[in-house]
Structure 1
Amino acid sequence: MRKTVNILILFLAGVLSILPIIFWGITEIGGMSIMDGERFIIHVVFVFACFAGIITSADHRQLNIEVFNLRLSESLKSTVGSINNGISIAVLTALFFACFPNILTVIDSGDMLWGIPVRFLFLALPLMFLAQLVLQIRENKRLLSSLLGLSAGLFVSCGSLASIAYTVFGAESAALTAGASIWAAVSAKLLVPFVLAFIAAALFGLPLFIVLLAITYTAFSQGGGYVDVVPLEMYHILTDSSIAAIPLFTVAGCLLAEGSAGKRLMELVRSSVGWLRGGVIISSVLVLTFFTTFTGASGVTILALGPLLSLILTGNGYSEDDAESLITASGSLGILFPPSMAIIIFGVTNIMTIDIFDVFRGAVLPGMLLTISMIIIGVVRDRSKKRIPFSWKELKTAFCASFFELLLPVFIIALYFSGLFSLLQTAAFTVLYTCVLEIIIRRDFSWKGAAGLILKSIPIAGGVLIIIGAAKGLAYYLIDANVPALLTDIVQTYIHSKYVFLFLLNILLIFVGCIMDLYSAILVVSPLVMPIAESFGIHPIHTGVIFLMNMALGFLTPPIGMDLFIASYTFNKPVIKIVKNILPYLGIQCIILLLVTYIPWFTTVLLP
């Protein structure tokens, strides 16, 4: 079964990498239009995301926090594991059944895509939930909690089951209707305790996508029982053309990270600035930033390049602690530069307020400030006497050796910002270029090896896409419940100064960055923040950049910043030691954040 899924996911990845460029050529060069061409591609992405979600669960790579589990005894860990297992099974069961009212009644039976019913393509979503459910039961081997979870999942699914029974058989079930009414009443009365319990479970390792789905499902249950909206919103966000670029950039980033690109770029910057004090530091920060722009996840960059860069830094006289802290602190800088997935998702989430182009423009200067600040503090802490003599010959050799790697960001910026390619086409070009570079030109690995690396990147892409889908339902509920307007009224009633609001916003967002992953925070929190900031006359792009900078800072903020734990795992050091070493970097990033917050010029000067 796993081999079949792997073959299918590789086929879909190939289709996503090739078709956008072929369609562009036919349309722009050949002058012919392809009916539903983009719609077909984004539905391929939807199916890809569902199968990637299965692989992510099979590999136990779903994003979670799991902060407090480290301090628990083995018996308590077992108890917590049983509780989380039961919750996961209940949620996956409920979501599986919630998909079918959409298939039977919501999606038009006549809606066809290249001869394929859209209903049939939508089936990939319940198939994903079913596969995740089977994996959860089979691999956890906790019979009692699994049975309790299944029972709870069937009970809360009474509304969905009643809808299915009525549509298929044309008759109402009194028992199912009664069960749905009981669950609606219970969820209405206990909504807050349920939400708090799910958040607490998140801190003890419950996967974040389960937490988001559980909260959203419960919220819709007490608000009228429209739980079928949850999978429908997942479908809507995962068939957005901008979201389609995410798995492609992730694949390209992983191929680059596993090949020789990092070493080549490192050698280029070393040969150009290695004779300066901190030259190796400059190269390390720039390479880290470069790779995070493609992978979209600072943790992936730290894991992939951390050991290599640490070895290079310590080999050039930098202390081990300083090397590891520099790598950890610089891992998230790339989310402010194109083609950052964070900016793409932020733009899609707030599409009615901002343009993705403008967010890219607005984030460039703050991103450069943060990058330069990391370089400066790294150089100040560099007490080594070892220098690399400058040599034009070595610089020329390094430049020639990394020429094709240097062309990639140039092509991306030129193709996307010129408007010649859409974001999806740019992402497809990036994957094709990277494959040609790493397999044919550099020969870092064979086609078979590349396929293995693509499969290795799938859990990363799958984890992100499923979080995005899960968070979209909650974002929809909050907007539907008019929460942004209510929060705006409250803030305007008690806070009258724009500057006080900005200060409190920074505190709130850093906290959010600590406890939530980047993508669910963007989808859930940013639609709440944007209208409030706009009511104070703050430019939407300014607010967006502040939001993203806070998220990046939250990854490093003790005690539960995600990158702290990833660095601890990568470098095999206690978290407390990682925290102690990054404090100078954390302090200067806070200063840069405040500077950008209170001087809007940094985010608006490049806007048209």
Structure 2
Amino acid sequence: MKKTVRGTGIILLALLALFPLLFRVFSAITGIPIASSDSVQVNLVFMFSAVAGVITSAQDKQLSLGILNEIMPFGIRRIISPILTALTSAVLGVLFLSAGSELFMIFTPEERLWGIPLRLVFAFLPLMYLGMLYLLFASRESKIAPLAGFIIAVPLAAGPLAGIWWSLTGNAAPDFFNSVFNLWISVSHSLLWPIIGILVLAAAFGLPIFIAMSGIAYAAFSQGGGYVEMIPLEYYGILTDKSIAAIPLFTLAGYLLADGSAGKRLLEVVRESVGWLRGGPVIAAVIVATFFTTFTGASGVTILALGGLLTMILTGSGSSKANAQSLVTASGSIGMLFPPSLAVIIYGTTNIFSVDIYDLFKGSIIPGVLMALSMIGIGIFRDRGSKRGAFSLPNLLKALVKGLPELILPAGIVLGYFTGFFTLMETASFCAVYAFVLEVFIRRDFNIREAAAVALKSIPVAGGVLVIVGAAKAVAYFMVDAGIPFLLTDLVAAFVHSRLLFLFLLNILLILVGCFMDLYSAILVVSPLIVPVAESFGIHPVHTGVIFLTNLALGFLTPPVGMNLFIASYTFEKPVMKIARDVLPYLAAQFLILMLITYIPWFSTALL
């Protein structure tokens, strides 16, 4: 079964990579557009996200915070662990039943896509939750906690169960079902905030983020009238968006490049071009770290994959190990400001009626360059190395020739996407296919079997992000439906009358959000609340987006829970607080750039 799920994930990922370019080529040659090609691609993404979610759970890589879990004594962790297991089981249980109920409602049996019933496509969602439940039971020696959680889930999902009963039998469910569900609606209405508090606290102890957010969404929709089927509907809606479809492909391209020899070749190009300057290796390290984060969408991946190599090059050029490791750590999150950053894609998709993704990509380029230059500047100032060779034009030309295939990729993205020749999905497809051909057939870093193994490594990263995107969209929908953005706008307008003061408070808020929330949850949940408030102060939506994303980039480095600090601690085998102290000069420089970007809108709007 494990091989079947993994094989399905890789096949779906391969189809996602190939279809956009094949469709484009076929239409260009024949002049005949392929019917429903966009729908096919986005529904493939939906099916992939479900399979990827199961694979992510199987590898125990669902994103979580676990802030308190790290500092709690072992005895307390033993007590909390079964509670978290029961909560996970309960939330997965209600999600499975609500998605199962919606399976019979969302599409009719006649609705098909290329002859495939759309109900069959949607069935991947309840099957994902069922697969996660199975893994939860299979991974625990004691079945008591997961069983207790599922038993709790059944009455909480009495409404969806009644829907399943009606769909299967054609008859109304016994009144008992509705009575139990109405009781749950009443309880959730009275205890909504305690339920949210319990789930947030559980997330701090290590409950997967998407479980916590899904549980909050289920409680919120329950107390609002019991429309819990909106959760699977929102999940399907966001994950069949063409922009979201690019996420797994950019992640795949990043992993293929990071695990192959691309990093070494790009470093050689930059080192030969600027390595003779003071701080040349620093420039090389920052550029390469930024490049890989841009493609993987996860700064931690860059630190894990290239941290050792970049540190070795920097120390070999005379930098101290502490300086080298702190530079790599601090440079890890800058890539989210450059195309084709997944953070920009998700922000633009979440706020699609306020900002265009294309404009947001253009608006974030100058701030991204400023961030990179600030890292380079601090790195050069701290560089006391004297191991610099003389500039050699023949060596530079040799490095350029060797690295030409790698350099074609970013050039192809810029020319293809920003000239409008490629759509975002086609750009992602080009990236993934080009990276595969480059690493397997040109560089021969992998054979096809090894490339499939690398692709499998990329799936949990994409899967972990996509399930959070689905869960957070449900929470965001409820907040918008409840009018919370408008309430927040009125509240801010009543107490904050200065645009400059609002921007200052916004930075404080977002840095705190970046400390305590992961990137994608913050974008999906917090940005819809911020955007209308910022618009009320006349702030350009692209400017707001750049401020938002830059703040979150700082959040990766900000104690107590900056994710990059923990990843760097693991990678470099150093205490977290030692990493945090070493990173402080870089963090201070990034904060100054943030202030510059915040109060001078030109940096965000100059290229529009």
- TM-score, structure 1 normalization: 0.99
Q: Please give the per-residue CA displacement for 1:91-111, whole angstroms capped at 9, x wherever unaligned.
A: 000000001222212323322
Partner residue of 2:415?
414
- Aligned equivalents of 2:478, 2:263: Cα separation in 1: 43
Partner residue of 1:532?
533
- Aligned equivalents of 2:108, 2:578: Cα separation in 1: 57
The one-letter code sitting in structure 2 at the alignment partner of 1:106 is: I
- Aligned equivalents of 2:270, 2:172: Cα separation in 1: 72
C-alpha contact (below 8 Å) 1:82/1:142 kept by paired residues: no
Q: How does 1:80-159 map to 2 (within 5 A)?
A: 80-159=80-159
The one-letter code sitting in structure 2 at the alignment partner of 1:35 is: A
- Aligned equivalents of 1:310, 1:437: Cα separation in 2: 25
The one-letter code sitting in structure 1 at the alignment partner of 2:280 is: G
Partner residue of 2:245?
244
Q: CA deviation at 1:26?
A: 2.0
Partner residue of 1:47?
47
Greater shift in the superposed pair: 173-182 or 120-129: 173-182
Q: How does 1:20-39 map to 2 (within 5 A)?
A: 20-39=20-39
Partner residue of 2:210?
209
Partner residue of 1:589?
590
Structure 2: runs of 5 or more not aligned: none
Partner residue of 2:5?
5
- Aligned equivalents of 2:374, 2:570: Cα separation in 1: 26
Q: How does 1:430-445 map to 2 (within 5 A)?
A: 430-445=431-446
- Aligned equivalents of 1:265, 1:139: Cα separation in 2: 42
Q: Is 1:321 aligned to residue 322 of structure 2?
A: yes
- Aligned equivalents of 1:536, 1:111: Cα separation in 2: 45
The one-letter code sitting in structure 2 at the alignment partner of 1:359 is: L
- Aligned equivalents of 2:140, 2:527: Cα separation in 1: 35
Q: CA deviation at 1:176?
A: 1.2
Pairwise CA RMSD: 0.9
SS of 1:68's partner is coil
Q: How does 1:250-269 map to 2 (within 5 A)?
A: 250-269=251-270
- Aligned equivalents of 1:166, 1:435: Cα separation in 2: 48
Q: CA deviation at 1:135?
A: 0.5
- Aligned equivalents of 2:593, 2:103: Cα separation in 1: 49
- Aligned equivalents of 1:559, 1:74: Cα separation in 2: 21
Partner residue of 1:399?
400
- Aligned equivalents of 1:8, 1:165: Cα separation in 2: 31
The one-letter code sitting in structure 1 at the alignment partner of 2:545 is: G
Q: How does 1:209-358 map to 2 (within 5 A)?
A: 209-358=210-359
- Aligned equivalents of 1:142, 1:179: Cα separation in 2: 29
C-alpha contact (below 8 Å) 1:165/1:173 kept by paired residues: no
Partner residue of 2:473?
472
Q: CA deviation at 1:182?
A: 1.1
Q: Report the count of equivalent residues.
A: 607
The one-letter code sitting in structure 1 at the alignment partner of 2:579 is: I
- Aligned equivalents of 2:73, 2:519: Cα separation in 1: 30
Q: CA deviation at 1:462?
A: 0.6
Partner residue of 1:56?
56
Partner residue of 1:546?
547
Partner residue of 2:521?
520
The one-letter code sitting in structure 2 at the alignment partner of 1:391 is: S
Which consecutive aligned stretches of 4+ in structure 1 deviate over 3 angstroms post-superposition? none
- TM-score, structure 2 normalization: 0.99
- Aligned equivalents of 2:536, 2:211: Cα separation in 1: 34
C-alpha contact (below 8 Å) 1:329/1:586 kept by paired residues: yes
Q: Please give the per-residue CA displacement for 1:479-533, whole angstroms capped at 9, x wherever unaligned.
A: 1111110100000001000111110011111111111111111111111100000
SS of 1:67's partner is coil
C-alpha contact (below 8 Å) 2:162/2:172 kept by paired residues: no
- Aligned equivalents of 2:382, 2:152: Cα separation in 1: 56
C-alpha contact (below 8 Å) 1:318/1:383 kept by paired residues: yes
C-alpha contact (below 8 Å) 2:95/2:126 kept by paired residues: yes
Task: Percent identity, please.
Answer: 53
Q: CA deviation at 1:69?
A: 1.3
Q: CA deviation at 1:71?
A: 1.6
SS of 1:387's partner is coil
- Aligned equivalents of 1:171, 1:207: Cα separation in 2: 36
Q: Please give the per-residue CA displacement for 1:39-79, whole angstroms capped at 9, x wherever unaligned.
A: 01111111111001100000000001112212222221111
- Aligned equivalents of 1:468, 1:230: Cα separation in 2: 12
- Aligned equivalents of 2:462, 2:149: Cα separation in 1: 28
Q: How does 1:191-202 map to 2 (within 5 A)?
A: 191-202=192-203
Q: Is 1:571 aligned to residue 572 of structure 2?
A: yes
C-alpha contact (below 8 Å) 1:271/1:388 kept by paired residues: no
The one-letter code sitting in structure 2 at the alignment partner of 1:290 is: F
Greater shift in the superposed pair: 543-552 or 165-174: 165-174
C-alpha contact (below 8 Å) 1:242/1:348 kept by paired residues: yes
The one-letter code sitting in structure 1 at the alignment partner of 2:83 is: I
SS of 1:99's partner is helix
Greater shift in the superposed pair: 133-142 or 421-430: 133-142
Partner residue of 1:70?
70
Q: Is 1:600 aligned to residue 601 of structure 2?
A: yes
